């Protein structure tokens, strides 16, 4: 079944393969490991709820294969800082590995580590504020994993929206492009921070203005993701505004 067909099945309410029943919360208590820093850790724990056994680790040096045994899923949202640990995850048979899929594509992660083993690798939009949404925005390394992955997220009562495995995914590209354009508008002196935020909320019904959103996501995440998207696409829309870069270098918020 293709990704599009699988998503269509969810949308139309058709029954997907009985594989889903294997991951039903009523039938199976999963063991999940979370490796993440704040605020992503708190957002993720809210989504995982109380129905499964969840262990949390965020200390450096945890990467020991024996510690991974018995887990059905591992959320490693810190993978950007230790990509070499993908080799360890390949030895965790049958576990679903969910990593940050925003600043690097899954294909790039595997290529850079000269990875050859099979691995159930899933990317997720883990930018602050984007985990605790109605749907998880995810990408797949292997399209053949689509049924297994959607079954897993269904077991968490967390619907999944599958997007292409590309740097920036979909929602981050849109939101960060708006933040970048707003920075250019501010740099040109066209309007103030407050006016731009107010106008965007009134005109588009967005929950936040671009500068409010930037502060919530974090200036480092915004800058580093835009840089990664621009490096991948060479699309001028993602070329970082000098004013935004200055804010990043000074580690300053807009408010």
Confidence of residue 59 (pLDDT cuts 50, 70, 90): low
Position 83 scores a pLDDT of 80
Position 117 scores a pLDDT of 66
For residue 94, count CB atoms less than 10 angstroms from its CB and return exposed for 0-12, middle for 13-18, buried for 19 or more.
exposed
Residue 13: strand, helix, or coil? coil
Q: Where are any strands of DSSP class E within the chain?
A: 31-35, 53-57, 73-76, 96-100, 121-124, 136-140, 160-162
* CATH 1.10.1040.50 location in the chain: 171-248
Token duo for residue 110: 């595997």
Average pLDDT, the chain: 85
Say whether pLDDT at 212 is over 90.
yes
* CATH 3.40.50.720 location in the chain: 3-162
Position 63 scores a pLDDT of 52
3-162 CATH choice from 3.40.718.10, 3.40.50.300, 3.40.50.720, 3.40.50.2000: 3.40.50.720
CB 34 within 8 A of CB 48: yes
Position 195 scores a pLDDT of 96
pTM of the model: 0.84
Q: State the number of CA atoms in the 13 A half-sphere of 109 facing the CB.
A: 30
Say whether pLDDT at 121 is over 80.
yes
Confidence of residue 85 (pLDDT cuts 50, 70, 90): confident
Position 159 scores a pLDDT of 92
- Of 98, 48, 53, 55, the residue nearest 73 (C-alpha): 98
For the domain covering 171-248, report its CATH number: 1.10.1040.50
Confidence of residue 60 (pLDDT cuts 50, 70, 90): low
Position 64 scores a pLDDT of 54
Say whether pLDDT at 194 is over 80.
yes
Position 27 scores a pLDDT of 56
pLDDT, one tens digit per residue, over 20-55 is 444 454 556 888 999 998 999 999 999 987 778 898
- Of 47, 10, 14, 17, the residue nearest 32 (C-alpha): 47
Position 95 scores a pLDDT of 85
Phi, psi of 21 (to 5 degrees): -65, -25
Position 71 scores a pLDDT of 87
**Residue range 151-167: mean pLDDT, rounded:** 92
């Amino acid at each position: 079944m293709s990704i599009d067909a699988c998503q269509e099945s969810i949308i139309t309410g058709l029954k997907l393969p009985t594989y889903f029943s294997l991951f039903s919360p009523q039938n199976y208590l999963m063991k999940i490991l979370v490796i993440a820093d704040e605020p992503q850790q708190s957002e993720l724990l809210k989504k995982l709820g109380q129905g499964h056994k969840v262990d949390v680790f965020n200390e450096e040096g945890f990467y020991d294969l024996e510690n991974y045994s018995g887990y059905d899923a591992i959320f490693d949202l810190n993978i950007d800082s230790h990509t070499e640990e993908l080799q360890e995850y390949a030895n965790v048979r049958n576990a679903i590995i969910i990593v940050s899929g925003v600043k690097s594509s899954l294909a790039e992660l595997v290529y850079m580590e000269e990875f050859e083993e099979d691995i159930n690798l899933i990317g997720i939009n883990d930018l602050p504020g984007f985990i605790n949404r109605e749907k998880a925005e995810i990408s797949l390394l292997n399209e053949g994993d689509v049924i297994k992955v959607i079954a897993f997220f269904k077991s968490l009562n967390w619907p999944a929206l599958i997007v292409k495995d590309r740097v920036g995914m979909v929602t981050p590209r849109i939101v960060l492009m708006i933040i970048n354009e707003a920075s250019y508008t501010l740099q040109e002196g066209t309007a103030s921070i407050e006016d731009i935020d107010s106008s965007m909320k009134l005109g588009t019904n967005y929950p936040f203005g671009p500068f409010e959103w930037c502060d919530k996501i974090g200036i480092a995440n915004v800058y580093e993701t835009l840089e990664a998207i621009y490096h991948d696409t060479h699309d001028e829309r993602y070329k970082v505004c000098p004013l935004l870069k200055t804010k990043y270098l000074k580690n300053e918020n807009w408010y």
